[in-house]
Structure 1
Amino acid sequence: MKKQRPVNLDLQTISFPVTAIASILHRVSGVIVFVALAILLSLLAQSLGSKEGFENVASLADNFFIKFILWGILTALAYHIVVGIRHMIMDLGYWEELESGTQSAKVSFIIAIILSLLAGIMVW
């Protein structure tokens, strides 16, 4: 028996709510932070190993590409923290309704953008 059900494979026609986008990006930023943690810990170990290692890591900070990666890591970390706090507040029973959840997701985006700009100022 073949079921006739609609299949929509065109993701451009699907409209995700802002709360779903916030949740998906929270997971993506968590993966980015996890991978970045390994990179940053290896750089820390190298810089603490010797004077030459420290100078090597310090010289990397002058490269534009490395600064851009650091800015991306800080942006992902800031977003993950902000939306993580939002999720924890929702676990406590607040902002669970559709309207308040949508508003809190929008506010989280705004706070994350501000923190991203501040991270850019700090890196450059």
Structure 2
Amino acid sequence: MAVQETQRKARREFRNIHVTELSNYRMPFSAIVSILHRISGMLLFVLLPFILYLLQESIRSEISFAHFQGIAQHPLSKLVILALVWGYMHHFCAGIRHLVMDTHIGLDKDSARKTSVAVLVISLAVTFLVALKLFGVF
């Protein structure tokens, strides 16, 4: 009986986090990537009408393509396009990561951290390169 009481006291205590403690809580990279995967998917879904409109304007005729170029030159449109590029790249990279994890590869803590950091770095690097091209630096 004494051994069971000692084991109970040695176990870690898991408790709910109160709203006031959220600033002290440090989420792992894999949790951040998972949350951003959901946000990027929602972003792509919500902006789907804008994406389809841009596609329609770009392929309908030469005049509509010129109209598309005018829309794409506006700084706000460039920011929206850049957000779409980030959303797509992050969602794509995180989706590949989740597919690999579905095959039971990279499930341990160290591999999950490395792959989540890789998803963040790759998606942000590609978005940065597209931003350079989009804003005419390169």
TM class, shorter-chain normalised? 0.7 to 0.9
Give secondary structure in 1 for the equivalent of 2:47.
Answer: helix
1:79 aligns with 2:77: no
Equivalent in the alignment of 1:119: 130
Rate the CA distance shift 1:92–1:7 in 2: closer, same or farther, 3 A.
Answer: closer
Report the equivalent of 1:30.
41
Question: Which of 101, 105, 108 is equivalent to 2:112?
Answer: 101
Query: C-alpha separation between the residues in 1 aligned to 2:16 and 2:121?
Result: 36
Structure 2 length-normalised TM: 0.77
- Structure 1 residues 118 and 94, CA, compared in 2 at 3 Å: closer, same or farther? same
Is residue 82 of structure 2 the alignment partner of residue 61 of structure 1? Answer: no
CA distance in 1, matches of 2:17, 2:28: 20
Are positions 1:90 and 2:101 aligned together?
A: yes
CA distance in 2, matches of 1:116, 1:6: 36
Following the alignment from structure 2 to structure 1, what is the Cα–Cα distance between the partners of residues 27 and 16?
Answer: 18
Q: Name the SS of the counterpart of 2:105 in structure 1.
A: coil
The corresponding residue for 1:8 is: 18
Give, as a single letter, the amino acid of the residue that structure 1 aligns with 2:42. Answer: V
The 2-side partners of 1:117 and 1:53 are apart by: 28
The number of equivalent residue pairs is 120
Amino acid at match of 2:83: G
- Give the 3 Å change call, closer, same or farther, for CA 6–66 of structure 1 in structure 2: closer
Give, in angstroms, the shift of residue 9 of structure 1: 1.1
1: CA distance, partners of 2:85 / 2:92: 10
Structure 1 position 36, deviation (Å): 2.3
Measure, in 1, the Cα distance between the counterparts of 2:116 and 2:17.
29
For the residues of structure 2 that align with 1:7 and 1:101, how far apart are their CA atoms?
Answer: 24
Q: Secondary structure at the match of 1:109?
A: helix
Alpha-carbon distance, 1:7 to partner: 5.5
SS in structure 1 at match of 2:30: helix
